Chain A
C-alpha cells in the first residue's frame, strides 16, 4: 500500500517528466529530420546504419539534450519521492506503522526508480521509433541498449537526490543541493579539460553509451557504468542507515 502512496505522491512529477522528455524527443527528431536533409539518410561508413540521422538522433538527442533533461528530471524525482514525507511532516505516521524503516526507504526508492525507468524506456523507444519512421531503416539493437547507460547514470543522480533529501530533511533542499553537485559534475570536467586533465562525469556515461550505440568504433563505457552502480548502492545504503537512525 505504501507503493500506492508513493506513486500518488510522485505521479504529477512523473507525468510532467514524461511529457517533457516526449516533447524534447519530438522537437529534436523534427529538427533532425529537417536539418539532416539527404545526408541524414546516407548509410554509415560500415554500411550498418543510416548514419547521418541516426548519428544525430542517437548521439546528440539521447546522449545530449535528453540526457540533460533526464538527469534533472531524475533529481526532481529523487527529491520528491521521499521529500513529501518531510514536507507533510508525516514521518511520525510512517515510522509508527509496523514495518522496519528500511522497507520504507527501499519502497519509496523503488517506486521512483521504476518511474525513472519508464521515462528512459519511453525516451529511447520514442527516439528509436521516430528515427526508424523517418529514415525507413531499422537500426541495430544497440540503440535500444542505450537504456542501460542512460538508466544507470540517471539512477545514480536520482539516488543522490534521494540521499540528499534524507540528509537535509527537505525535498527542496535535496533538489537544490543535487542541482549544485550535478552542475559541478557537468562543468568541472570542462574546466579541467583546459589543463588537459580528463575527468569523467555522469554525463559521460550517457554520452559514451549513446556514442557506442551509433558508432561501432566506440567502446561501451563499462567502467563508468560500474562506478554509477556502486555509487547508487552506496547512496541507497547511506539513506537507509540515515533513516534508520533518524529521530522524528
Chain B
C-alpha cells in the first residue's frame, strides 16, 4: 500500500486562458491532517474537484489512496468523503432523510457516528435542509462525511458559517476522532489559525502551483524573523531570504533555513541583531504569498518559484 493518500503528478487545469492548476505535484501522506492553503483563486478547489472526478485535468495524473484518478474513480469515491465549499444539498430533505439517502451508498456507514455527531454538533435532524442556517447546513454536510467511515476525508472550507463552538467541535473531531483513528484528512481553508491548530502537514499553493509542502513543525522551525539594526544592511533577497522590510536603520528579514548563519553574517557586517523570533503559519503564509506576488507580477519567469522544503 502506498505511503501517500494523495499523489498528484504535474497536474494542470486550464480554463480558456486561465491556468487554474499549474503543474501541481502534491504528496499527501496517509494518516494525519493536511492543511491545503492558498489565496482565493489559487487553485485549491479546482485541485480537489479534479481529485474527486468533478473536473478533468488538462494534463498530469494523480492517485488517491493508491487508485488512479479517473480510471478507478468509483473505488476512490467508496473510500473518500467530501464536503464541498458550496454546502448545497437537497433542500426539501431533512438531515434524517439525507442520512438515510446517503447511507445506502456506503457499506461501512456508521449509524453510531450519526447519532454521536448529530448530538455533539447539535444538528436539527428533522428540519428541511433549505430551512437550516448556513452553520447547520455545514454541520449536516460534515455529519454525512463523518459517518461514511472513509479512509480519506476532503473538506473544502469546512468551517464556513460555523460559530466558534462549532469550529472548536469540528477541530476536536478532526484531531481526536479522525486523526486518532489513522484516517487522512485534507482540509482546504483560509482559516490559518484553525489549520495551525490541527494540521500535521501543510501544502501552500498560489497561482495553481505549489509554493511549499512540508510538516507544519518543520515549516515553523525553519522560518525565522530576524530584526537587525545598522547601516548598509543587505536589502537583496535570495532563496533563503523570503522578504526584507527596512525602516530607517532597522531591517526585518524573514529567512527560511540557516537563520543563525544569516544572523551571524549580519553581525559580521557590523549590524546588531536585536531579535530572532519564530513565525506563525499566518505570517509565513503572507510572506510566501507576497514573495510570489512580487515574482509573478511583471517578472514571471525571471525568479524561480521556491521549491518544496526539504523534508
Contact = CB atoms under 8 A, between A and B. Distances in A.
Given A90-B88, A93-B89, A5 B54 contact: no
27 contacts: A1-B100, A1-B105, A4-B101, A5-B90, A88-B88, A90-B89, A92-B54, A92-B86, A93-B89, A95-B53, A96-B52, A96-B53, A96-B54, A96-B82, A96-B84, A97-B102, A98-B74, A98-B75, A98-B78, A98-B105, A98-B106, A99-B74, A99-B77, A245-B56, A247-B49, A247-B55, A248-B54
A89 to B, nearest CB: 4
Interface residues of B, number: 27
Nearest to B101: A1
Interface in A3-27: 4-5, 8
Interface in A215-248: 245, 247-248
Contacts of B80: 96
Contacts of A95: 52-54
Nearest to A1: B104
B92 interface: yes
Contacts of B84: 92-93, 96
Interface of B: 49, 52-56, 73-75, 77-78, 80, 82, 84, 86, 88-93, 100-102, 104-106
Contacts of A245: 56
Contacts of B53: 95-96
Nearest to A97: B105
Contacts of B88: 88-90, 92-93
A5 B101 contact: yes
A111 to B, nearest CB: 14
Contact of B77 (A1, A5, A90, A96): A96
B66 to A, nearest CB: 16
Interface of A: 1-2, 4-5, 8, 88-90, 92-93, 95-100, 245, 247-248
Nearest to B53: A95
A247 B77 contact: no
A90 B90 contact: yes
Contacts of A89: 86, 88
Given A92-B84, A96-B77, 19 more contacts: A1-B101, A1-B104, A1-B105, A2-B101, A5-B90, A88-B89, A88-B90, A89-B88, A90-B89, A90-B90, A96-B52, A96-B53, A96-B54, A96-B82, A98-B106, A245-B56, A247-B56, A248-B49, A248-B55
B74 A100 contact: yes
B139 to A, nearest CB: 15
Nearest to A95: B54
Given A93-B84, A96-B52, A88 B91 contact: yes
A90 B90 CA distance: 7
